[in-house]
Structure 1
C-alpha cells in the first residue's frame, strides 16, 4: 500500500483558484479537475442552496496552501485576543 495518503493534506489552492481556492484544493486532494468540483457546488446550490453553505464552511475550515491555520482559526484567535483585552 502506498504512503501517499499520509502526505496529502486538504488545502485551498493558490494555483487553481477562481474565488478562494476551495474547489481547486478539493480537486487536487481527490485527484479530479477543479471544474467538476465547481459543477457539483453549482448543482447543490440549484437544488436548495446547500452548495453555498458547504462552500462557505469549506472556505472557513480549509487552510490555504503554505499556511497552517484556517480562516476560522484566525477569527477565533482574534476574538479570544479581544476578549482578553477587556
Structure 2
C-alpha cells in the first residue's frame, strides 16, 4: 500500500498537492487547480484545512543518494 507523504521534489508551498498527486497518480497541476477552486468556493475553509493537513502529513523520506555510492577498487 502506498503511503501519503508531502513531496520533497514537487512542491510550491508545502508539497501537499504534489504528494496527493503522487498518491493518486494524477498531475500535480490538476490537484493544485482543484485546491484553488475549492478555496474560492469554500470562502477559505479549504486553505485552513490545507495548512492543518500539511502539519499532520510527514515529508517524504529521502531516497538513496546517487552521489554516495561506494565503489570498491582493487
Using the size of structure 1 for normalisation, the TM-score is 0.65
Aligned pairs for 1:1-86 within 5 A: 6=1, 8-47=2-41, 48-66=43-61
Which whole-Å CA distance do the structure 1 matches of 2:53 and 2:28 have between them? Answer: 14
Stretches (4+) displaced over 3 A: none
Q: Which has the larger radius of gyration?
A: 2
Report the Cα distance in structure 1 between the residues aligned to 2:5 and 2:49, rounded to whole angstroms: 15
Are the counterparts in 2 of residues 27 and 33 from structure 1 also a CA contact under 8 Å? yes
Aligned length: 61
The gaps in structure 2 that reach 5 residues or longer are: 63-74
TM-score (norm 2): 0.75
